[in-house]
Structure 1
Amino acid sequence: MKVPIDEKVDEVSSVDSRPGAYNEVSEERPEVFKSTTHEIATAVILALSTAMNAMAQGAMQIAVPTLGEYFGINGGDLSWTLSSFSLVAGASILFFAKVADLCGRKRLVFAAYLWYALWALISAFAPTHIFFDVTRGLQGFATAACPAAAVGIMGATYRPGKRKNRVMAIFNAGAPFGQISGLLIGGLSIQYANWQTMFYVQSALYTILAGLVWFVVPGSIIHNSDARQDIDRLVAVSSTRYFINKLDFVGAGLSIVGVILLVFGLTQAGSATRGWATPYVISTLVAAAAVVVVFLLWQRRVQYPLMDLSVWKYPGFAVCMAIMLFSWISFTGILHYYQAFFFENIEGVSPILTTIYFVPQMVASLCSICIISLTLHRIPGRLLMMGAQLLLTLSAVLWAVRPMHITYWAYSFPAIVISVFGADFSYNVAIMFTLSAVPPYAQSSAAGILYTVLYIGAAVGISTASTVVETILTHENYTMNADVGSLYKLMVGYRGAFWFAATCTAISFVLSVFLKAGTHGNRKDNTNEDETSSLLSGFEKNPDPLLEPTISYESI
């Protein structure tokens, strides 16, 4: 069945098609927005796509100890309640990023919000921890679909400039807002109701947001003044079968299998009888490496790859992805996971007090967003990234050396605050760097690579840190008791995880020294324009008639 593009042509605007026009600085409001209020509302609604993952993880951060008691699990089994979510998201985000570029970013965000609401509701009725892990994993498909599509909408709609920096700051505020909202939802639900309540709340929220996406978020603009002449060609090829032929299902299968094998091997190493020397752990990790190699070889051969490998030729892109991998192993995979454990298991505080301890995160995040919006066009991204990695390293070190039963304000408070600054700075530099790496019609695919790295980093961090902690506890002959000796041994295990986090961010700091990232949105900052244009010429020569114009099929 042909897609009736001609019926909706008037809903799409065309702009300049000169080579590199999408990299020119502009402070004008994109014409797809009826007003500044409409523009801000769209940014907020789309920002909650990044809040989805942070909200889910924030709520779980408080709920994990309670879930362990409810289902009677701990160690590696308990870590799956968190890692299954990140695992599925990280394994499938490249596929959904390609779907967004091909089939419509707005439609994908709408469907993802509804999908998340559905499986959040079902999770509340989980009778076993295995069923719960499966439903959590299915929620991960929504978080895989949302961010890259939403970033693609924002990136393709705006040209570089201070206006884009400010709007992207609002958009990027979604993650910290989601984090603190999740903490509050989780803490209040567990303290005054039950863990199921936090899923009821999230389900209701994203059902409402799905409706707002449909009625408020506009369709994307066409970044080509000749695109209207291509509408007839698009009508001729825009069938369901055509879209399916452009999706790399083999690559999607390989990426999902590879990530699952990797995280499963890392997670089971801590609970296996012989640890890392257990045969099935070794074979799983070897198989994961083999699948990744096959995936990369397949991407070089397939006509429409899931991951366009030419993106990696952009100066500093690979370095940026490596930095974010190690940063998110530390920040999301370890610091977030074990901070709540430290408060509840070592200090013995209640879930609601644990939630209050994390409230400074939101204030710190709001401050960091203001600073970022005012400095991205003034301070080179490399310096911002280096500072971010130093802050994350210092936060991990503070947790690693924190004594037992000491005031919250001495170690925990500064560690929590500076980790937020470090994470926000690094994320904003990385997302702006990524959006500048490719032309608008590949924005979702490039963002998909970044979010894949982030989700995999979170999953690998949780699983690897769990293995580190369990190895230390086994060596310390730890037994689950409330006496001081047992608590001290448990704290030694947590310290091992925090030292591992510090090591990861120290590596990312060294890598950030070599990051080729300048300012963003500065009219005088065109030093890499020629180099960038030549590297992007490979995208602009794409022979596919559907992908050549920068179009997102929101209006179809």
Structure 2
Amino acid sequence: MTMDTAAHETTEDAVAATSNPVANPAADPTAGSLSVRARLVLFLLCAAQFAVALDFSILNIALPTLGRDLHMTQANLQWGMTAFALPSGGFLLLFGRIADRVGRRRIFIVGLSLFTAASVLATLAWSPTVFLAARALQGVGAAAIVPSGMALLTTTFKEGPQRDRALGVMGSLMSLGFTFGMVLGGVLTQTLSWRSTMALNVVMGLLVLVGAPLLLTESRNEVRPRVDVPGAITVTGGLLALIYGLSTAAQAGFGDTSVVAALVAAVVLLTAFVVIEARTAEPLVSLRILRRPTVAFGNLGGLATFSMMSSVVFLGTLYLQQVNGMSPVMTGLVFGVLGVSCAISGTIAPRIVARIGSARTLVAGLVLQAALTAVLLTIGQGSVGAWVFTVAGSLAAVGHLSAIVAYSVTATAGLPDEEQGLATGLVTTTQQVALTVGIPLLSALASARTDSLRTAGHSLARATLGGVRLGLGADAVLVAAFALLVGFGLRRRA
């Protein structure tokens, strides 16, 4: 499957870092190579982002067991995911601006502390209310970690081979965290309990908290921006309404009154946000940056690859378990193969970007992802279908990771230092929103098809297969359409 929205990224620390190799851990006389300290900083920041991505997906397979243990109804199980997604996506921009004012290192550590404490509460949860409250607090912590961590990375590693390499590692680990969460979710739930999935976050959070004060240097804007209160209220409310509406639609359908009301509210609030940002002197998001084709179309490509690949993972879980009857552990192992593919391609993608450029790599990655997703339409019941899903899904993951690295580079390249914070803020917002909106959209489509086939008399397995195929088909078409749009937009810019 990431929000720093500053209009100015130049900081006293960053200025000092350019002349002080101790303050700038990425300083290295060899272009693209990283010092030992820089590697430790990169590992630390990636570990935090990995934990957030892992937390987003690790409960997918564990939800049925969790529901039985805490006596949650089937209809309420989706709130195990939604309670995390709402604040993690809704508060990204706001926390990005706060980090600009008070310091990115400070917000990173505060967010990580909240995330870790909330994970303890989720591990010990004794009722649905306590568990969902803990998940919401985890989401708030994630909303602080993601933008501040991404901004710390881009201010630590200068534009060029170093940043490309760092973004490649982070993009790879974020996607790997999402898929690896599926693996661990199945293994830990079946061998220990669902509580162990939450306890893992505690361990990871504590490890990062030990290293953060020692390795990270403070970074903030030299001139602290005012908080755009009307903009913060409208964009946060709009994102919350959008995520709530789409998440609820996966269960209740798009005709549900609460879903319609939430989506209408999202449109109204986000429209008001655009109007406010166009008129305010110090906007939360400067709209002028979106006039840059690299920023606009780069983030559009990121939205496509993240939202649609996460949907492949979700639909694949339904296929492997409900159609082929595979256990949680075996399902997790299949996604582990996809995760390994992500890890390998994440190390290769920066070299491809360096050779053919980020724009071409982005389009090529989207085309490959769309083509291999289309191959998944051939899956059926039985072991052959499972092998097809494993192989084609792994190759689609190669295109996916290439697109992730390329869009991160495209959307942040060629910008002056004072716009880097805003650019990285948009990048991480794109990631988090995409991980939230893709699954509900295609899940609702697949569920409708499954229900239709069940009404027509098909077995549950055959009906589910029909729904999964329709969702995958729509997925492939959407990625291909985005690839054309992004390619056209970036070509016009060139």
- Report the TM-score range of the alignment, normalised by the length of the smaller protein: 0.7 to 0.9
Helix, strand or coil at the partner of 2:490 = coil
1:87 matched residue in structure 2: 86
The letter for the 2-side match of 1:289 is V
The letter for the 1-side match of 2:403 is S
Once the 2 structures are TM-superposed, how far is the Cα of residue 90 of structure 1 from its aligned partner?
A: 1.8
1:446 matched residue in structure 2: 423
Q: CA separation of 1:168/1:276 partners in 2, compared to 1, >3 Å: closer, same or farther?
A: closer
1:61-210 counterparts in 2 under 5 A? 61-70=60-69, 71-74=71-74, 77-129=76-128, 131-210=130-209
Contact 1:52 1:143 (8 Å CA) reproduced: no
Kindly provide the CA deviation profile for residues 221-262 of structure 1, in whole angstroms up to 9, marking residues without a partner as x: 99xxxxxxx8xxx7xxxxxxxx6x712233222122212222
User: Greater share of helix residues, 1 or 2?
Assistant: 2
In the alignment, structure 1 residue 254 sits paired with structure 2 residue 228: no
Q: CA RMSD in A?
A: 3.1
Residues in 2 aligned to 1:29 and 1:420: alpha-carbon distance in whole angstroms: 31
Structure 1 runs of 4+ with >6 Å offset: 9-12
Helix, strand or coil at the partner of 1:62 = coil
Residues in 2 aligned to 1:460 and 1:99: alpha-carbon distance in whole angstroms: 25
Among 245, 255, 258, which residue is 1:265 paired with?
245
Contact 2:167 2:408 (8 Å CA) reproduced: no
Structure 2 portions without partners, runs of 5+: 1-11, 20-26
Deviates more, 1:342-351 or 1:206-215: 342-351
Contact 1:121 1:203 (8 Å CA) reproduced: yes
The letter for the 2-side match of 1:135 is A
The letter for the 1-side match of 2:116 is A
Contact 1:388 1:426 (8 Å CA) reproduced: yes
Residues in 2 aligned to 1:68 and 1:342: alpha-carbon distance in whole angstroms: 21
1:28 matched residue in structure 2: 29
1:499-538 counterparts in 2 under 5 A? 499-516=473-490
Kindly provide the CA deviation profile for residues 274-330 of structure 1, in whole angstroms up to 9, marking residues without a partner as x: x54444433332222111111111112233222121211212322222222222221
Q: CA separation of 1:12/1:282 partners in 2, compared to 1, >3 Å: closer, same or farther?
A: closer
1:149-548 counterparts in 2 under 5 A? 149-220=148-219, 246-269=226-249, 271-272=251-252, 275-332=253-310, 334-407=311-384, 410-477=387-454, 485-516=459-490
The letter for the 2-side match of 1:369 is G
Deviates more, 1:467-476 or 1:197-206: 467-476
Residues in 2 aligned to 1:358 and 1:449: alpha-carbon distance in whole angstroms: 28
The letter for the 2-side match of 1:162 is P
Residues in 1 aligned to 2:220 and 2:451: alpha-carbon distance in whole angstroms: 58
Residues in 1 aligned to 2:357 and 2:251: alpha-carbon distance in whole angstroms: 44
Kindly provide the CA deviation profile for residues 12-58 of structure 1, in whole angstroms up to 9, marking residues without a partner as x: 72548xxxxxxxxx96379xx9x821111111111123212321133
Helix, strand or coil at the partner of 1:61 = coil
The letter for the 1-side match of 2:436 is A
Residues in 1 aligned to 2:14 and 2:92: alpha-carbon distance in whole angstroms: 28
The letter for the 2-side match of 1:353 is M
Helix, strand or coil at the partner of 2:459 = helix
Helix, strand or coil at the partner of 2:319 = helix
Once the 2 structures are TM-superposed, how far is the Cα of residue 129 of structure 1 from its aligned partner?
A: 4.2
Residues in 1 aligned to 2:58 and 2:80: alpha-carbon distance in whole angstroms: 12
Residues in 2 aligned to 1:133 and 1:215: alpha-carbon distance in whole angstroms: 33
Residues in 2 aligned to 1:323 and 1:82: alpha-carbon distance in whole angstroms: 25
Q: CA separation of 1:106/1:262 partners in 2, compared to 1, >3 Å: closer, same or farther?
A: same
Once the 2 structures are TM-superposed, how far is the Cα of residue 10 of structure 1 from its aligned partner?
A: 9.3
Q: CA separation of 1:319/1:176 partners in 2, compared to 1, >3 Å: closer, same or farther?
A: closer
Contact 1:117 1:203 (8 Å CA) reproduced: yes
Once the 2 structures are TM-superposed, how far is the Cα of residue 339 of structure 1 from its aligned partner?
A: 1.9
Residues in 1 aligned to 2:358 and 2:15: alpha-carbon distance in whole angstroms: 33
1:524 matched residue in structure 2: none
The letter for the 2-side match of 1:486 is L
Kindly provide the CA deviation profile for residues 328-357 of structure 1, in whole angstroms up to 9, marking residues without a partner as x: 22112x112222232222222222222221
Residues in 2 aligned to 1:364 and 1:307: alpha-carbon distance in whole angstroms: 35
Among 16, 25, 32, which residue is 1:13 paired with?
16
Structure 1 portions without partners, runs of 5+: 1-8, 17-25, 223-229, 235-242, 519-526, 529-556
Higher relative contact order (CA 8 A, sep 6+): 1
Once the 2 structures are TM-superposed, how far is the Cα of residue 68 of structure 1 from its aligned partner?
A: 4.7
Q: CA separation of 1:432/1:350 partners in 2, compared to 1, >3 Å: closer, same or farther?
A: same
The alignment-based identity, stated in percent, is 19
Deviates more, 1:129-138 or 1:448-457: 129-138
Once the 2 structures are TM-superposed, how far is the Cα of residue 402 of structure 1 from its aligned partner?
A: 0.8
Contact 1:172 1:428 (8 Å CA) reproduced: yes
Contact 1:42 1:216 (8 Å CA) reproduced: yes
Larger Rg: 1
